[in-house]
Amino acid sequence: MTDIHGGVTVHEGYKLLKEKKISSVELTKHYLERIKQVEPKVRAFTTVTDELALKQARKADEEIAAGKAGLLTGVPLAIKDVICTKGVRTTCSSKMLENFIPPYDAMVMEKLNAAGIVMVGKANMDEFAMGSSTENSAFFPTHNPWDLKRVPGGSSGGSAVSVAAGEVVAALGSDTGGSIRQPAGFCSVVGMKPTYGRVSRYGLVAFASSLDQIGPLTQDVTDCALLMNVISGHDKRDSTSVPESVPDYTKSLKTDLKGMRLGIPKEYYVEGMQTGVSDVMKAAHKKLEELGAILEEVSLPHTPYALAVYYIIAPSEASANLARYDGVKYGYSYKGDSMWENMEKTRGNGFGPEVKRRIMLGTYALSAGYYDAWYLKAQKVRTLIRQEFDKVFEKYDALITPTSPTVPFKIGEKTDDPLSMYLSDVCTLPANIAGVPGISIPAGFVDGLPVGMQIIGKHFSEETILKVAYAYEQATDWHKKRAEI
Ligand code: GLN
């Protein structure tokens, strides 16, 4: 067996498995062992599915022996606990779904299972994907492997940490306002939010349906492209999934950016951005220029309204989506003396404080008399934000921004101040509002803490942003650095 001490990427694993230098069972045991070692420190998983993983690994080895292996056959992955996995507890890190076992697989799981993956566990998250630090998990917070006293970002914090701490080869997350990209940036891994409609949301527990999108968290850009190849595509069970053909994303991985026009939107280099982050971004801009890109400052003047728009639209949709947790159909159920008591206690005990805050905000914004002033107004500004992106992409191939204005903050630092927590997503929210794709890739460190660079493209231009990401990655070494724990 080949020594895989530091773990493997998807593409390295594929080669080792295909050449029979390692078996999927050996690979899976390596990761399960690593999980045993580091999990007490980082706590990335709500559930570790070791038995299932070994069963899937044995099956993968048979397929490899029969010459039927694909790129993901036998590769250990983590899945954010908001994605339905048939027969495996899917909690959304909420007491409400603590014992919920889905009777069906999400579309992405059908695709990954058909590709022969090994699922080693379900990843911790902010409850119902509401948060930016994974501290809102009803079970326990997840810790950043680069500094265990700091947050990993959120809401896909468990997914990002499982990759950054070498517990899995890659993971899936979901992104409603930044929940893949922000933790990817905080943990120094690659995270992509695809175009809205690119990946089916069937079987993704809904938070804000017009913003939610599933995407990969990986160690490098090549793996991101490989996973995108598998999870993308039309699905008639998700009416917002778009019937566009899926290109081979690995074809766009080129190292030359000659003539590419990249916009630097000045509104993203916000006041309050840490100087260390700004220095990292300046160096990144220079590197992109060296690679042949033409960088110019651009303006997206409605950007400062994105945060307000998001925190009206997302809670509004959440308040409607979360109405289904009534203690009758599934999930936690309180049995009291009256229907009202059942409802009140089910929702009162089942949801945590942030979820309740969002439900109240959303219910208020949608209520008669306030609907026009809040929800309708937010939808109008949403259109303006989208139009602004369309316009800037007439002239530019992609936009370059920091993923977050700061490095990972300390656990507990922002829990009493929801507004300052919301601010950590200023750079990621606009892409969800407009439905455009974005990726965060490792771009450097400030005092040992990771900084992510975000690349945003127009609708269905995943190939373009992957190309920029790959060229930058190949010209730098940030993605090779591993957290030592
Ligand atoms: N942090 C944002 C929120 O709290 C985004 C979450 C997400 O993308 N799921 O809503």
Q: Beta-carbon neighbour count of residue 379 at 10 Å?
A: 14
- List 93, 133, 155, 440, catalytic entry: 155
Query: In the predicted model, is pLDDT for residue 322 greater than 90?
Result: yes
Domain boundaries, the chain: 10-258+439-452+463-480, 304-376
Mutate to test the pocket of ligand 1, among 82, 124, 126, 355 (most ligand atoms within 8 A of CB): 126
How many angstroms does the Cα of residue 381 sit away from the middle of ligand 1?
19
The answer to whether 367 is a known catalytic residue is no
Range 108-113 average pLDDT: 98
Determine if ligand 1 sits within 6 Å of the CB of residue 132: yes
Query: Would you tell me which CATH number, out of the four given (3.10.580.10, 3.90.1300.10, 3.30.70.120, 3.40.50.720), belongs to the domain 10-258+439-452+463-480?
Result: 3.90.1300.10
For residues 286 and 262, the answer to whether their CB atoms sit within 8 Å is no
Q: What are the tens digits of pLDDT across the range 288-309?
A: 999 999 999 999 999 999 999 9
- With a cut of 90, say whether residue 31 has pLDDT above it: yes
pTM for the whole structure: 0.98
Whether the per-residue pLDDT at 161 is higher than 90: the answer is yes
Confidence of residue 130 (pLDDT cuts 50, 70, 90): very high
State in Å: Cα 125 to ligand 1 middle.
11
Per-residue pLDDT tens for 172-230?
999 999 999 999 999 999 999 999 999 999 999 999 999 999 999 999 999 999 999 99
Q: Which atom of ligand 1 is nearest to the CA of 208?
A: 9
Q: Whose CA is nearest to atom 5 of ligand 1?
A: 177
β-strand pairing of 76-80 with 170-175: parallel
The mean pLDDT value for 82-95 works out to: 98
Question: Is the pLDDT confidence value at 2 over 80?
Answer: no
Q: Give the mean pLDDT of the chain.
A: 96
Per-residue pLDDT of 435-471, as tens digits, reads 999 999 999 999 999 999 999 999 999 999 999 999 9
Could you read off the pLDDT of 462-478 as tens digits, one per residue? 999 999 999 999 999 99
CB of 130 closer than 6 angstroms to any ligand 1 atom: yes
Ligand 1 site-directed mutation target among 134, 137, 176, most atoms within 8 Å of CB: 176
Summarised one tens digit per residue, pLDDT across range 381-435 is 999 999 999 999 999 999 999 999 999 999 999 998 888 888 889 999 999 999 9
Q: What is the pLDDT of residue 368?
A: 86
Amino acid 423: pLDDT: 83
Model confidence pLDDT, tens digit, residues 55-73: 999 999 999 999 998 999 9
> What percent of the chain has pLDDT above 70?
100
Residue 316 CA to ligand 1 center (angstroms) comes to 13
Taking the centre of ligand 1 as the mean of its atom positions, its distance from the CA of residue 116, in whole angstroms, is 30
Beta bridge partners of 218: 190
pLDDT confidence of 341, banded at 50, 70, 90? very high
Closest C-alpha residue for ligand 1 atom 4? 131
